[in-house]
Structure 1
Amino acid sequence: MTTPFSIAAPDLIALGYSPIPLIAPDAPHKGRGKAPGDWRSGAWQGLSRWQRFRDGPPSSFEMNLWLKAPSANVGIVMGTPAGRDAEGEPLFVIGIDFDAADPDALDTLLGASPFSPMVKRGQKGETRLFRARKTIKTAVYDGPDGRLIDLLAGFDTRQTVVPPSVHPDTGAAYVWTAGPVPAEQLPVFTEDDLAVLEEALETCGWERNRTRAATDRPRKPAPAEIDPDDLWSEVKAAAMGNLSAWVPHLDLYGLRKARGGYECVEAWRPSSTGRLLADRKLNLSIQPDGIKDWGSNNTYSSIDLVMAARNCDQHEATDWLRERLDLKDEGVVIDLAAMLARSKRSDMGGWDDDLPEPLRAVAPKYGKIPHLEAQKPAVSGFDVGAQLSAPIGQLPSTEFPDHLTRVPGLVGKITDWICDSSRKPQRGGALLAALTLVGTAAGRRYAGPTLTGTHLYGLFLAPSGAAKDHPLKCCGRILHASTMGQHFGPSGFMSMSALINRLTRQPLTLTCIDEFGSFLGRINGKRASTHEKAITGVLRTAWGSSFDTMAPPEWAGRVGEPIHSPALSLYSVSTHQEFFDNLEGGDVYNGFLNRFLLVSTQRKVEEREPSADKMVVPESITKGMLAIYGGGNPLARATSHSSLSDAPEIIVPWEDGVGSSAHRVYQGLAQDVERREHEAAFLARTVEMAQRLAVIRAVGINPAAPCVTVEDMEWGRQIALWSAERMMTDAQDYMAETQTQRDAMQVLRLIRDRGPLKHRDLARALQHKMRPRDLQDTIKSLEDAGQVVVSEGDRPPSGGHRPKVYAAA
């Protein structure tokens, strides 16, 4: 099948760009022709999380699907790395879209722009491609008659349609008027070039620090941009098209009409110049084409503004806007039974694998999906899990998201090598091993912006036979190859004293524990000694002792020596059933469980021939580990890794400082977690976990001068939330206080994951572990609790009784 995407994508990749498919121009979709799209089940959908392809290419599987998508247009993701400038600073692909409708204005702007050897033209104007430093940001420039220029950069990430795509309105193909050329041959667009272009924009009617020229008459808003991955696009668009219906009701300080919209003071933030509220300027501009505070450079959607002004969460803000805009609450209706019936992957994952793509796309991004009330059933009488039911929007897939394993820097290199050297690669487990390795190399030397450490307790859960042991073995190989073998800890601890002895001798330790569920069973068992039971308490204390002194207990014959800056990391593996069977209810509420970063899968990977030698660690990995650990600087190593070290050598800052975009992601996550008080047992350490992950990623990218970017923090946020919410769901699915509850949970999981099931198929799935009478009693109990629906199937062709069929309610 020949499509614009299939024609252009291979050449664009060879030139160093990141092409993505765009929805076909003739598709019945709001984003037709221009929005990133995915062809699934015979229809176009928005391509979720497409911004990730800025930092790394799609998998061969994704590319094969894209090449087969009918009539797919093609776009280039902005922000793709494209070499360095003369000063060694990294450069990224950007585009400047010249949209001025007036011919004279267009000529003026084109004349003020540098030459580019790569230019495309669509319906009007043209787009020129350049390279630029990260300081060149995405921006919109409007004049009296509308849009003049769109500056498309990777920060925030944008994409641009390229030839031979077909324009959805004219039916004509986009064309290259120059180029294309390799990305690293694009000229560099500098801050000086931007200053010259902005001077020309002013001559065309653009007002600096304003989104539109001043006018007293209301102006028709520009068409709202539709985000195919955003369930709230229509609410936001309606709000921006009718500002008067809701803005005056927010009680904004100093609000007054201005330029077809409003302006006021952003009273919820402090003055950057220390002025009293009454003396502050009206810097918050609320216009039909956007909301921005020119004092802090913050931008808002309509929902964001309501959340800030009313100090409420997204759900409440959306409901408030709907009421003011008189929008009908149509909600979201999901037929779970129908999804189960038509599931094509029910043997590989949970029921939410078949959620519509927009719901799956936003689930990691938002806490609750408004007006979505379907909830996951809880087992009757299960005290530990009684409060764990969560809306669908909070239930992550049983499979760890693959795109989160595609990481720049050393973490990504280690993940890829572990997978390349495995016969049954598990990318989630490989990523977790990479994180604990880089976190160990950085331990006691690097600290996050809030002085958190980089040590992690990683937990990889997978079925038996899913090759869980390969990443575990790679941890030791990498540490020894990187001359860090002294930090490779034992395979377990027989008692609290053994654990304390290890931390006293070597505060920086990575311990890999196979069959972690069995280890928990031993230390939590009825016959466990006092010293065995105390192991979890020491682990809890050590996790939170970043750059603090840990005072261990004393016992007869031994003096408890202070442990300075303990940095113990764990990489542990187990099956789901074994881990949760041996977990106690107290481990949920005392904070032991929420200290673990969970990565899980239900999938067994097919065996294949490795492309890398598992016995030979690549030099790029060993050098990368050493660069973090201390490199060739013996003094730095001796200082950071001495037993008395109690302060970090390097504090990794937020990129652009406190109040930056990265810092706001961190603060936003903290606010979200704080609002979910009833889930505190699982979310209490999610914020710190997210920051640790972001710091590890940042250190792996640039050990010499790391900083936490918004991309680092957003990636860490998504992983930490996925982990906490998966742990929450699995705890409800697996933990039980009696064998009866355990049997009921197993039956319910099978019916939910594989159902509807005939009685015969359910018995086979249980491998006849339950007696027929016990199975019947369990089904009856679940039916009485309203968790399972029992019906009769079709009569067999040979006659006889109609079989019983079980489906999740």
Structure 2
Amino acid sequence: MEAAQDFMARFGARLVDNGYPAIPIWPGTKKPGRFQAGAWCDYPAWTRHCDRPTTLIEVETWATWPDAAIGLACGTLVGIDIDVLDPDIAHRLERLARDMLGDTPLLRIGKAPKRLLVYRADVPFSGPKRAPLEILAQGRQFVAFAIHPDTGQSYVWPEDSPLTVALDDLPVVTEESVRQWLDAAIALLPDDLRPATLVSPSVSMPSTSPQRGTLAAVRSALAHIPNADLEYDSWVRIGMAMKGAIGEDGASLFAAWSAMSAKDVPAATAKAWASFRPTTIGAGTLYHHAMERGWQPNLTLVLDGSTSQDEVHPAAGLLAKLAAIPAEPTAPVQPFDLTIPDGVLGDMVTYMLATARRPQPELSLGASLCAIGALMGRKYRTESNLRSNLYVIALADSGSGKNHSREIINETFFQANLAQYLGGNKIASGAGLLTALHRQPAMLLQIDEFGMFLEGIADRKRSPRHLTEILDNMTELYTSAGGVFLGAEYANRDGKNERRDINQPCLCVYGTTAPTRFWNALQSANVVDGSLARFIVIASGNQYPDENNDTGIRSAPPALIKSLKLIAAGAGRMAAGNLSGLTADPTTAVDPMTVPMDPQAKAIFRDLSRDITVRLREALGTPFTPILARIAENATRVALIRAVSFDPVRPVIRADDAEWAIQFVSTCADRTMVEIGRRVADNDIERNHKRLLEIVRGAGATGLTKSELIRRSQFLDRRQRDEVIAVLVEAGIIEPIMTATVTKPTISFRTTGREAW
């Protein structure tokens, strides 16, 4: 199960900025809650947020509550809840909603394939429920950011989310339009999923009782009906409904529920129960009140007590099918012994290491892959039309030698007369990137201080559009290498603003940065939207290796220069020199060499596909699915580069190419996901928690004394540090250790092994 997260602290302010009526959700549940006297309890007055915007002051208060999740109150906001476990039916109902109500950008998944679509109402209205379909409208709420109590994973917004789409930008619906959709949707449901009216009461109940319920359903519904400050008439009504639903079996249940109120007098409760004589009230009333407060009965729950408990549940077949799906653990991070491959790739890495003051094998490999990938652009492709365009980020501390690989590539390309493949050291705008690629469709961009660069292009709230367009264009170019990238259309087409199309662009990006700067620049949105998934993130295995004192003036080996020229010429099939990689017009079609894959390599990639599918299903609802989904694609690109590196003239992707590429890319992806969980934060509060936890984790099993922890966390003042330590200890993530000394005991801290995020 995924550990609880402070969703309100991370996302609350951003939701308010986008106009959403955020409310606090009791961790581990789907109902609104509040944190009082050191414990979570019900929040009876939450419905007031259906009628007015949430204030920033409220969010800042809720953000201090431990593990506070986030719900959105409905009124202006409307949710179309499709509570169906059949994937095909759920998808058809979603498609129907988009066709009839508008193509909303907001889709939320809790327990797949169930789904919820979000719309906006100009005039609030009450929403009907016809299980398994429901209109969440005035007076209702739904969970937006939380840990799902059934799956143990975060709710996921697979497309856009309320963090990126303002409330005012949602499609507008009316009460009439949603009821029309509901009627049409009901007609699409098979008979066993259509809502059924509760049948007449069983003979065991008095004839005056209108609806018989079941003990399990009543207990489940009652858990969603608060009784902190309930007025007397409502208290009586709930008691009458319980007795009408399950008779005297509800006496102890009603007494326990009544005892939740400070006004409860046990003797008076028992006397009132004995006096109840329900004639027109029963389970339906109780269920109605519970559903108004967020209760969504499980499909396995029998609501109608008049139905024989021995009957087969109408969804039994579907439930059995779901239960039969095996649940395997997510693959752990595997160790990876870096081996330098043969061919041009190995020659370039070896040259970099031999000339480096501080040799960095991992960084040299990443830089070489990108360099050769750029030279291969528009000249080689796989049988599935994948190309050699790679995005690689190399992480190493300052002074560790991370710049050397870039310097070697620059010098070698100039020596080989291939400098036209080198893009500038800086990218000023998204339009500037496209202009450079239009001039040179196959290009290598080498960016130092990539973390600083990423801060500018990834922050959509504060950065200007011309910067954020850089990341947008890079994301689109990554998937456009095998086709035509269509340029932007301009209103004023005066010769300078003509649309610029690029046929088969090959952009390779190699960025270097310090680890802390890189992870601090990322936000969870960059993980979820898939922009990070396109990058292979490589970390140095040894931040400060021994110095090589024999380095000096260098010149690339002639054999390496010759091999790079051969690859740039497509093994002699295309022009070399300054014209290599270019055509008379970047929109002109080119005909790359197709690199085949032998049967063994194909079998290895088929096995990878099955493994990734299993991991994707396990990771559903987490931010890691985009990264997992790109492993096979990135591994195929790397295998293509390795195969061409070994034999540019008659390349074939063989089993050893496939195995090496898969191990390399998978290891990088697994380590990236671990680092995301430990380091990526959306605000300073979350960032401080994670930074301090990393300091304690780095101390290992022996722990860290409080004085040493203070010394290493000078980025926090005393109050902030004490608050962070208190939260981590209370959550059971770190633990204090008392050690006796001659004078007085000392306090140390160590991790407990539980992950906080």
Q: TM-score, normalised by structure 1?
A: 0.49
Alignment pair present for 1:570 and 2:570: no
Match of 1:649 among 583, 592, 598: 592
In structure 2, distance between residues paired with 1:685 and 1:698: 20
In structure 2, distance between residues paired with 1:426 and 1:671: 34
In structure 1, distance between residues paired with 2:569 and 2:658: 24
In structure 1, distance between residues paired with 2:644 and 2:709: 49
What is the one-letter code of the residue matched to 2:663? Q
Q: CA deviation at 1:566?
A: 0.4
Structure-2 residue corresponding to 1:792: 738
What is the one-letter code of the residue matched to 1:769? F
Q: CA deviation at 1:554?
A: 2.7
SS in 2 for 1:608: coil
Deviation per residue, 1:746-776 (Å, 9 max, x gap): 111121222311112222333x222233222
Structure-1 residue corresponding to 2:452: 518
Structure-1 residue corresponding to 2:144: none
Structure-1 residue corresponding to 2:558: 619
Deviation per residue, 1:378-425 (Å, 9 max, x gap): 99x9x99xxxxx96852356xxx4x33421111111111111111111
Alignment pair present for 1:545 and 2:484: no
Residues 484 and 645 from structure 1, CA distance in 2 versus in 1: closer, same or farther, beyond 3 angstroms? farther
In structure 1, distance between residues paired with 2:511 and 2:691: 24
What is the one-letter code of the residue matched to 1:746? R
What is the one-letter code of the residue matched to 2:515? H
Match of 2:610 among 663, 671, 677: 671
Q: CA deviation at 1:619?
A: 1.2
What is the one-letter code of the residue matched to 2:628? L
Deviation per residue, 1:576-616 (Å, 9 max, x gap): 22112222322212221011011113632244235454641
Q: Would you say the 8 A contact 2:695–2:712 is kept in 1?
A: yes
SS in 1 for 2:536: strand
In structure 1, distance between residues paired with 2:153 and 2:351: 41
Q: Would you say the 8 A contact 1:418–1:614 is kept in 2?
A: no
What is the one-letter code of the residue matched to 2:604? V
User: What are the residue-to-residue correspondences of 1:284-323 with 2, within 5 Å?
Assistant: none
Q: Would you say the 8 A contact 2:441–2:581 is kept in 1?
A: no
SS in 1 for 2:508: strand
What is the one-letter code of the residue matched to 2:478? W
Q: CA deviation at 1:464?
A: 2.4
In structure 2, distance between residues paired with 1:630 and 1:434: 18
Structure-1 residue corresponding to 2:438: 504
Residues 612 and 626 from structure 1, CA distance in 2 versus in 1: closer, same or farther, beyond 3 angstroms? farther
In structure 2, distance between residues paired with 1:486 and 1:761: 52
Q: Would you say the 8 A contact 1:639–1:645 is kept in 2?
A: no
In structure 2, distance between residues paired with 1:688 and 1:423: 34
SS in 1 for 2:746: coil
SS in 2 for 1:676: helix
Provide the aligned C-alpha RMSD in A.
Answer: 2.7
In structure 2, distance between residues paired with 1:743 and 1:490: 35
Structure-1 residue corresponding to 2:41: none
Residues 803 and 622 from structure 1, CA distance in 2 versus in 1: closer, same or farther, beyond 3 angstroms? same
Structure-1 residue corresponding to 2:704: 757
What is the one-letter code of the residue matched to 2:521? N
Deviation per residue, 1:276-321 (Å, 9 max, x gap): xxxxxxxxxxxxxxxxxxxxxxxxxxxxxxxxxxxxxxxxxxxxxx
Match of 1:783 among 715, 723, 729: 729
Residues 474 and 523 from structure 1, CA distance in 2 versus in 1: closer, same or farther, beyond 3 angstroms? same
User: What are the residue-to-residue correspondences of 1:480-495 with 2, within 5 Å?
Assistant: 480-495=414-429
SS in 1 for 2:400: coil
In structure 1, distance between residues paired with 2:574 and 2:694: 55
SS in 2 for 1:624: helix
SS in 1 for 2:642: helix
Q: Where is the helix percentage greater, Structure 1 or Structure 2? A: 2
Q: Would you say the 8 A contact 2:523–2:681 is kept in 1?
A: no
Q: CA deviation at 1:458?
A: 0.9
In structure 2, distance between residues paired with 1:631 and 1:716: 22
Q: CA deviation at 1:448?
A: 1.6
Aligned length, in residue pairs: 416
Deviation per residue, 1:680-725 (Å, 9 max, x gap): 2211211111011111111111111110110000011011111211
Q: Would you say the 8 A contact 2:376–2:570 is kept in 1?
A: no
What is the one-letter code of the residue matched to 2:467? E
Structure-2 residue corresponding to 1:554: 489
Runs of 4 or more above 6 Å deviation: none
Q: Would you say the 8 A contact 2:738–2:748 is kept in 1?
A: yes
Q: TM-score, normalised by structure 2?
A: 0.52
In structure 1, distance between residues paired with 2:394 and 2:588: 31
Q: CA deviation at 1:647?
A: 4.2
Q: Would you say the 8 A contact 1:444–1:647 is kept in 2?
A: yes
Structure-1 residue corresponding to 2:7: none
Residues 504 and 405 from structure 1, CA distance in 2 versus in 1: closer, same or farther, beyond 3 angstroms? same
Residues 691 and 578 from structure 1, CA distance in 2 versus in 1: closer, same or farther, beyond 3 angstroms? same
Q: Would you say the 8 A contact 2:375–2:421 is kept in 1?
A: no
Structure-2 residue corresponding to 1:587: 526
Q: CA deviation at 1:468?
A: 1.1
What is the one-letter code of the residue matched to 1:805? F
In structure 2, distance between residues paired with 1:760 and 1:466: 29
Structure possessing the higher relative contact order (Cα contacts under 8 Å, 6 or more residues apart)? 2
In structure 2, distance between residues paired with 1:459 and 1:699: 22
* Structure 1 unaligned regions, length at least 5: 1-376, 385-389
In structure 2, distance between residues paired with 1:610 and 1:488: 29
In structure 2, distance between residues paired with 1:507 and 1:732: 36
Structure 1 stretch displaced more, 577-586 or 411-420: 577-586
SS in 2 for 1:803: strand
Deviation per residue, 1:62-88 (Å, 9 max, x gap): xxxxxxxxxxxxxxxxxxxxxxxxxxx
Structure-1 residue corresponding to 2:687: 742
SS in 2 for 1:458: strand
Match of 2:627 among 682, 701, 718: 682
Structure-2 residue corresponding to 1:805: 749
Residues 731 and 651 from structure 1, CA distance in 2 versus in 1: closer, same or farther, beyond 3 angstroms? same
Structure-1 residue corresponding to 2:663: 718
Identity among equivalent pairs (%): 24
Deviation per residue, 1:113-148 (Å, 9 max, x gap): xxxxxxxxxxxxxxxxxxxxxxxxxxxxxxxxxxxx
In structure 2, distance between residues paired with 1:740 and 1:626: 52
Q: CA deviation at 1:463?
A: 1.9
What is the one-letter code of the residue matched to 1:543? Y
In structure 2, distance between residues paired with 1:741 and 1:378: 19
In structure 1, distance between residues paired with 2:365 and 2:574: 31
In structure 2, distance between residues paired with 1:663 and 1:524: 36
SS in 2 for 1:394: coil
Q: CA deviation at 1:633?
A: 4.1
Deviation per residue, 1:522-553 (Å, 9 max, x gap): 22344422121111110011111123000021
* Structure 2 unaligned regions, length at least 5: 1-151, 162-327
SS in 1 for 2:511: strand
Q: CA deviation at 1:805?
A: 3.3
